[in-house]
C-alpha cells in the first residue's frame, strides 16, 4: 500500500466529548496502526496470512483486554477507550480488529466474568500481552444464527469432562492457545469450557479460500473425545445468556470498528477526488462526486454520535443488548455503503491494492454477517420494540 496519509474526519468536533485519557489511548492506537499495520497489511491479505508478529504490539497498546482490570494484565480502561481502539484497528484492517475483539471480548471477558480466580490468573496475563492467543467457539456447521440449537456436548466422567462435536468459522482458531468453547451438558444446559492446545483429540483445521478477512485466520474446532479437566469449566454462568453477554461486548467494539473502516475509505476518496483530474478539473468538483462525499461524512458523523452515546451508556452499565444491536447493524451497513461509493470514486484504481478500499469492502462482507447478521440484528430491534419474537414460529 502507498504511504498512509490518513487524516481522521471529525466534522462535529466530537473530540471535545472525549477525555484526555481517551484521546491519548486513541492516538497511540492510531500511530501504531500507521507504523505497524499500514505498511504490511496489503501483503498479508494478498497471501491470506495472519501477521503473527503484531500480537505483542496489540498487547502493548492495550488492545487485548482494554477494560480488563490491571491486576489481570488488562489496561483497566473505560468502554469508550475500548471502542476507540477498535475504531483505529479497523481503520487499518477489520481482520486485525477481529483478532483483538475476539481476544478481548470473547476470550478474556468470559474468563474474567465467569471464570475462577485460578483461571483468571492462569490465562488473562498471557492473553493481555499476546503471549497467548484465544478463540471463541459458538457457531457450528448446523447452528449459526440459532446457537441455542448447538450439538457440541460434554459428559461428566467423574474426574474429567469428555467433549465431542465441532465448531466452524472460528476466528483465530488455527493459532489459538486456548479456546472458549460453548457446549451442552447431559441435561442440555450450555456451559463454557476452556480447551487448550495440545489436549488429545482437539484439532483446529484452517478455513482456506476466503475472499474476506484474509489477514485474520479462521478455522474449525474439532473435538474427538477430548478429555477436559474439571478445573477448565467456566463456573460463573451457564445458559445461552453467557455467550450472548460476550457478544454484547464484542458487538459494541464492532460498532466502533466499522466507523474506522468508513473513515479510512472517506478520507481516501476525498483526497483522491481533489487530485484526480477528468474533463479538465478535479473529480471532487463534480456534483455527483460531492454528493457521495457529503453523504459519507454525514453518515460517519451520525455513527460517531450514536456510538459515543452507546459508550456512555455502557460505561454507566445501562446499554441494552438491543441498543448494541442497533449500533452494530447501523454502523456496519453505513461502512459498507461508504466503501462501495468510495470504491466507485476511485474508478479502476479502487480495485487495486494501492488503496485500502477494496480490502475494507471485502472485509466488511464478513463483519455484516458475523456477531449476528444484519437481519438478525433487525429482528432483535423488532423484538425489543414489539415484545414479539420473530426468530421462531
Query: Is 148 one of the binding residues for ligand TGC (CB under 6 A)?
Result: yes
Known catalytic membership, residue 371: yes
Select from 304, 317, 222 the least CA-distant residue to 260: 304
Query: Is 139 one of the binding residues for ligand FAD (CB under 6 A)?
Result: yes
Given candidates 1, 17, 18, 244, which one binds ligand TGC under the rule CB under 6 A?
Answer: 244
The rounded radius of gyration (Å) of the Cα atoms in the chain is 21
Select from 202, 237, 271, 223 the least CA-distant residue to 112: 237
Q: Which is nearer to ligand TGC, 69 or 241 (CB)?
A: 241
Letters for 373-392 (x = contact with ligand TGC by CB under 6 A, - = none) are ---x---x----------x-
For residue 122, how far is the Cα from the chain centroid?
Answer: 24
Query: Is 323 one of the binding residues for ligand TGC (CB under 6 A)?
Result: no
Burial (0-12, 13-18, 19+ Cβ within 10 Å), 362: middle
Catalytic pick among 36, 140, 220, 371:
371
- By a kind-dependent CB cut-off of 5 to 8 A, residue 345 interacts, out of ligand FAD, ligand TGC, none, with none
Largest CA distance in the chain: 79
Asked if 334 and 262 count as a contact pair (C-beta separation under 8 A), the reply is yes
Q: Rounded CA gap, 2 and 24, in Å?
A: 26
| Closest chain position to ligand FAD (CB) | 144
Q: Which stretch binds ligand TGC (CB under 6 A): 21-29, 70-78, 124-132, 136-144?
A: 136-144
Q: Rounded CA gap, 48 and 362, in Å?
A: 13
Asked if 188 and 119 count as a contact pair (C-beta separation under 8 A), the reply is no
Query: Is 381 one of the binding residues for ligand FAD (CB under 6 A)?
Result: no
Letters for 218-257 (x = contact with ligand FAD by CB under 6 A, - = none) are x---------------------------------------
Name the minimum Å distance from CB 372 to ligand FAD: 6
Within residues 161-190, the interface with ligand FAD by CB under 6 A covers 169-171
- 221 strand-pairing partners: 167
Which H or E run contains 215? none
Q: Where are the beta strands (DSSP E) in 119-217?
A: 134-137, 153-156, 160-171, 178-184, 190-196, 202-203
Polymer length of the chain: 393
For residue 123, how far is the Cα from the chain centroid?
Answer: 20
Query: Is 102 one of the binding residues for ligand FAD (CB under 6 A)?
Result: yes
Within residues 96-125, the interface with ligand TGC by CB under 6 A covers 98, 101-102
Within residues 352-371, the interface with ligand FAD by CB under 6 A covers 366, 369-371
Within residues 151-210, the interface with ligand TGC by CB under 6 A covers 171
Catalytic residues: 371
Binding site for ligand FAD (CB under 6 A): 102, 135-139, 144-145, 169-171, 213, 218, 366, 369-371, 373, 375-376, 379, 391
Amino acid at each position: 500500500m502507498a504511504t498512509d496519509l490518513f487524516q481522521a474526519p471529525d466534522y462535529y468536533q466530537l473530540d471535545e466529548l472525549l477525555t484526555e485519557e481517551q484521546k491519548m489511548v486513541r492516538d497511540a492506537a492510531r500511530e501504531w496502526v500507521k507504523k505497524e499495520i499500514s505498511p504490511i497489511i496489503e501483503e498479508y491479505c494478498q497471501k491470506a496470512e495472519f501477521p503473527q508478529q503484531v500480537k505483542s504490539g496489540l498487547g502493548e497498546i492495550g488492545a487485548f483486554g482494554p477494560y480488563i482490570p490491571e491486576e489481570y494484565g488488562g489496561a483497566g480502561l473505560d468502554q469508550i477507550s475500548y471502542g476507540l481502539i477498535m475504531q483505529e484497528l479497523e481503520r487499518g484492517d477489520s481482520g486485525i480488529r477481529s483478532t483483538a475483539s475476539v481476544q478481548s471480548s470473547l476470550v478474556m471477558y468470559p474468563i474474567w466474568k465467569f471464570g475462577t480466580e485460578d483461571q483468571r490468573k492462569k490465562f488473562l496475563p498471557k492473553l493481555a500481552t499476546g503471549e497467548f492467543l484465544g478463540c471463541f467457539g459458538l457457531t457450528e456447521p448446523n447452528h449459526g444464527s440459532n446457537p441455542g440449537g448447538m450439538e457440541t456436548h460434554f459428559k461428566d466422567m467423574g474426574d474429567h469432562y469428555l467433549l465431542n462435536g465441532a465448531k466452524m468459522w472460528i476466528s483465530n482458531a488455527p493459532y489459538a492457545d486456548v479456546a472458549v468453547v460453548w457446549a451442552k451438558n447431559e441435561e442440555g444446559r450450555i456451559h463454557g469450557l476452556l480447551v487448550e492446545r495440545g489436549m488429545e483429540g482437539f484439532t483446529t483445521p484452517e478455513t482456506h479460500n476466503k475472499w474476506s478477512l484474509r489477514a485474520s485466520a479462521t478455522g474449525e474446532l474439532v473435538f474427538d473425545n477430548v478429555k477436559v479437566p474439571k478445573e477448565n469449566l467456566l463456573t460463573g454462568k451457564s445458559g445461552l445468556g453467557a455467550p450472548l453477554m460476550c457478544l454484547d461486548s464484542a458487538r459494541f467494539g464492532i460498532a466502533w470498528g466499522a466507523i474506522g473502516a468508513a473513515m479510512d475509505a472517506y478520507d481516501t476518496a476525498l483526497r483522491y477526488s481533489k487530485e484526480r483530474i477528468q474533463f479538465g478539473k478535479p473529480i471532487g468538483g463534480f456534483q455527483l462526486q460531492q454528493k457521495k462525499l457529503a453523504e459519507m461524512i454525514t453518515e460517519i458523523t451520525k455513527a460517531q454520535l450514536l456510538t459515543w452515546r452507546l459508550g456512555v451508556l455502557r460505561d454507566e452499565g445501562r446499554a441494552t443488548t438491543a441498543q448494541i444491536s442497533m449500533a452494530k447493524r447501523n454502523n456496519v451497513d453505513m461502512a459498507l455503503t461508504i466503501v462501495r461509493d468510495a470504491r466507485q470514486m476511485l474508478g479502476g484504481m479502487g480495485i487495486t491494492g494501492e488503496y485500502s478500499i477494496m480490502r475494507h469492502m471485502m472485509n466488511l462482507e464478513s463483519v455484516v454477517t458475523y456477531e449476528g447478521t444484519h437481519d438478525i440484528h433487525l429482528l432483535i430491534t423488532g423484538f425489543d420494540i414489539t415484545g414479539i419474537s420473530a426468530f421462531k414460529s
